[in-house]
A and B are shown apart, each in its own frame.
Chain A
Amino acid sequence: MAEEKSQASSSKMLTLKASDGVLFEVELNIAKEMKTVQAYIDDCEDIETIPIPNVLGKHLAIVIEYIKKTNEEYDAEFEKQWNMDDLQLLLLAANYLNISGLQECLCKAIAKRIENKSPEYVRKVFNIENDHSPEEEAKLRKEYKWAFEGVDKD
């Protein structure tokens, strides 16, 4: 739980409620970076607690931290800390909350991690099931022959 001291000029505080019930009090200008939250504020002006049903508390904490701190150096270091699972969930959170800066940063990180890797690796990393039939897959491999050569070892 992050608690902010109210400024004398009283920047309005908002409470965000993560899917597992964890509450975060954030300043209005921080919350506004999340365009989804901004949309709520626009729709219902006197809303005080905004539920974020798609995002776990631990990820919401990371997102809020990112918004507060963001600059280029932070970005570069930021993405190195997380494992693939967290990166994905953070990306989904950033997408739902509509924070373009964070989304770009995370996509960049993910793109870097799947660069020059085989489809099998990508599937494992994203937990995606291969729903291609063996014939379809053979066809794909043939069509995209150049791509499957010279790929990094998984």
Chain B
Amino acid sequence: MKRKIFQSCDDALSYVKAVEVAFQYNNRKKYDEFLKILKDLNLRIGRRISIRCVKAKVKRLFKGNSDLILLFNNLFPTEYQITLPQRTGKKVKKVKEYCELPWDVLDIISKRLDFDDLFSFAGVCKNWRAFHKIYWRNFLTSQEPLLLTSYRATNGEKSYTLTRNSDQKVYCLKMKCYASYVTSSSGYFIMVGYNNSFLLINPFTRISKVINVSTFEVKPTGLFNRAMLAFGKCSEEFVLVVLCNIFASGGLNVYQSRNCGWVTYSTTENQGKVVNFVVFHNKIYVITNKANLGVINLNSANITFLKLKNTPNATIPSLFYWLLCCDDQLLLVDFRHEKTLPNVYKIDFSTMNYVKLETLGDIAIFYVKRRNCYALSNPNKWGYERNSLYVMSPSSSNIECSVHSWDDKELQKYITLPTSASPGRFPSMLGWCFRHLRYEVDYSLVE
């Protein structure tokens, strides 16, 4: 099997190709270094590089890729043979010593695995763990909405799945929690427990937090709870904003982890009752049923209201105002009339004006009736239409979602939501989950 250096052009070519494929995805730099060694070797006639040097360089470069070293030994004459460390008690395979699966292959395998398996995967060895970290990071930056569905088995046990619309891939979440889902926010599911507490569960990192409430009552069966989770900028401190039952007269309650306590924010009759909130430019904005926009002061129990012109429907309050933040715009959506397209306003801070929008542009809105509302930019990328509204009925087994468009207000379409209902399992649609959204508040912006 001994050959002179590069006597067989084919073999050399294929070796170079093998190296390229091995390093294509992981480490382009290594491949370039290898080419450089070859170049130096080629000019060996002029004694540019010593045999020992080549061996050392190749051995170092291909550390961990013993199949490439074995190939190198096959191609080059005896004086170039690199000795591999002996593995005691292990059967040496003919061509390879042990198979190291390249990362592009691990990627294809990972795409087929469920959440639980992905976490097991990460525990196999350091190399796989490193790969998992990158894979997971990319997974969490994806803006594609995932549909959260709960299933009730005949024995009453609940299970949850997250489903992707594009390829119907289903992720099973083996969460066992006796709690009622409110919304998903900053990667966490916010749920209401049965003992006057909130349960925050992050299915992507397996972190869960329980926040007890003593100053007010929170009912898990309350259909009109609103909540939002935001993190402190560059910290693990967080803020939980909740509104328990928008029909009730209770105020807005905010929990801050840095104080370990709840604060109730009240408003005057004139300002109206807070019905919704969102984080925009690292501040928590609230909207009242009288369309008054304010900012929560995290250092006190005050809400600073802004003076805006052209306030929509000032005389007729609406409980179904939603604040949305998308493409660096703050939008107000009025869902009071369920049968028609909602009115959408943009808050223009330069003129302190509500501007009614005739079109959303490259945005799609996802509405879970009376429960949740999200905006997604560049929806075409995920198979959704721009300038459209997707409406779903919450906690129902209705798997149809209606689609409305500002381009053609008469047109109404339906899409079927992906589920994996099987006999004995009854699906209940809970809403969409946007894994890339992470709300952050900047404590320094607060007076």
Q: Check A43 against B109 for contact (C-beta < 8 Å).
A: no
A134 to B94, CA, bound (A): 32
**CB of B119 closer than 8 Å to a CB of A:** yes
Q: How large is the interface on B (under 10, 10 to 19, 20 to 34, 35 or more residues)?
A: 35 or more
B71 to A, closest residue via Cβ:
A53
Give A51-64 as 1s and 0s: 1 = Cβ < 8 Å from B's Cβ atoms: 11111100000000
A-B contact pairs, 9 of them (CB 8 A): A39-B17, A40-B13, A91-B105, A96-B18, A117-B117, A128-B128, A131-B126, A146-B116, A146-B174
Q: Check B206 against A143 for contact (C-beta < 8 Å).
A: yes
B residues 63-112 in Cβ contact with A at 8 Å: 67, 71, 74, 94-96, 98-99, 101-102, 104-105, 108-109, 112
**Which residues on A sit within 8 Å (CB–CB) of B13?**
40, 43-44
Q: Check B123 against A140 for contact (C-beta < 8 Å).
A: yes
**CB of B121 closer than 8 Å to a CB of A:** yes
- The chain B residues found within 8 Å of chain A, CB to CB, are 9-11, 13-15, 17-18, 21, 67, 71, 74, 94-96, 98-99, 101-102, 104-105, 108-109, 112-117, 119-126, 128-129, 174-175, 206
**CB of A130 closer than 8 Å to a CB of B:** yes
**Which residues on A sit within 8 Å (CB–CB) of B15?**
53
A88 to B71, CA, bound (A): 19
Q: Which of A2-10, A25-33, A69-77, A104-112 contacts B (4 or more CB under 8 A)?
A: A104-112
**Which residues on B sit within 8 Å (CB–CB) of A132?**
123, 125-126, 129
Give A133-154 as 1s and 0s: 1 = Cβ < 8 Å from B's Cβ atoms: 0000100110111111111000
Instruction: Decide yes or no: A147 and B99 within 8 Å by CB, A53-B11, A54-B67, A115-B114 being known contacts.
Output: no
Instruction: Decide yes or no: A108 and B112 within 8 Å by CB, A49-B10, A122-B121 being known contacts.
Output: yes
**CB of A50 closer than 8 Å to a CB of B:** yes
**Which residues on B sit within 8 Å (CB–CB) of A137?**
123
Q: Check B109 against A110 for contact (C-beta < 8 Å).
A: yes
A123 to B15, CA, bound (A): 29
Min CB distance A109 to B, Å, is: 10
Q: Check A123 against B125 for contact (C-beta < 8 Å).
A: yes
Min CB distance B101 to A, Å, is: 7
A107 to B121, CA, bound (A): 14
A131 to B117, CA, bound (A): 19
B112, B115, B126 pick with most chain A CB within 10 angstroms: B112
Min CB distance B93 to A, Å, is: 9
Q: Check A147 against B94 for contact (C-beta < 8 Å).
A: no
**Which residues on B sit within 8 Å (CB–CB) of A140?**
122-123, 129
Q: Check B120 against A117 for contact (C-beta < 8 Å).
A: yes
A140 to B99, CA, bound (A): 24
A110 to B, closest residue via Cβ:
B109
**Which residues on A sit within 8 Å (CB–CB) of B18?**
53-54, 96
A128 to B90, CA, bound (A): 12
Min CB distance A151 to B, Å, is: 7
Instruction: Decide yes or no: A147 and B120 within 8 Å by CB, A51-B10, A56-B94, A107-B108 being known contacts.
Output: yes
A145 to B, closest residue via Cβ:
B206
**Which residues on B sit within 8 Å (CB–CB) of A130?**
124-125
Q: Check A118 against B104 for contact (C-beta < 8 Å).
A: no
Q: Check A119 against B10 for contact (C-beta < 8 Å).
A: no
**Which residues on A sit within 8 Å (CB–CB) of B117?**
111, 114-117, 147
A141 to B365, CA, bound (A): 39
B98 to A, closest residue via Cβ:
A127
Min CB distance B166 to A, Å, is: 16
Min CB distance A11 to B, Å, is: 22
Q: Check B95 against A91 for contact (C-beta < 8 Å).
A: no
Give A84-116 as 1s and 0s: 1 = Cβ < 8 Å from B's Cβ atoms: 000011011001101000011001101110111
A84 to B122, CA, bound (A): 20
**CB of A65 closer than 8 Å to a CB of B:** no
Instruction: Decide yes or no: A126 and B99 within 8 Å by CB, A103-B105, A117-B120 being known contacts.
Output: yes
**CB of A129 closer than 8 Å to a CB of B:** yes
Q: Check A151 against B120 for contact (C-beta < 8 Å).
A: yes
**Which residues on A sit within 8 Å (CB–CB) of B124?**
119, 122-123, 126, 128, 130
Task: Out of B74, B95, B109, B116, name the residue touching A147 (CB < 8 Å).
Answer: B116
Task: Out of B11, B74, B99, B119, name the residue touching A144 (CB < 8 Å).
Answer: B119
A95 to B, closest residue via Cβ:
B105
A19, A111, A140, A148 pick with most chain B CB within 10 angstroms: A111
Min CB distance A113 to B, Å, is: 10
**Which residues on A sit within 8 Å (CB–CB) of B21?**
36, 95-96, 98
A44 to B17, CA, bound (A): 13
Min CB distance A122 to B, Å, is: 5
A25 to B347, CA, bound (A): 70
A92 to B68, CA, bound (A): 13
Instruction: Decide yes or no: A54 and B95 within 8 Å by CB, A108-B112, A130-B125, A146-B175 being known contacts.
Output: yes
**Which residues on B sit within 8 Å (CB–CB) of A114?**
109, 113, 117, 121
A91 to B123, CA, bound (A): 22
Q: Check A107 against B123 for contact (C-beta < 8 Å).
A: no
**Which residues on B sit within 8 Å (CB–CB) of A111?**
109, 112-113, 117
A50 to B10, CA, bound (A): 7
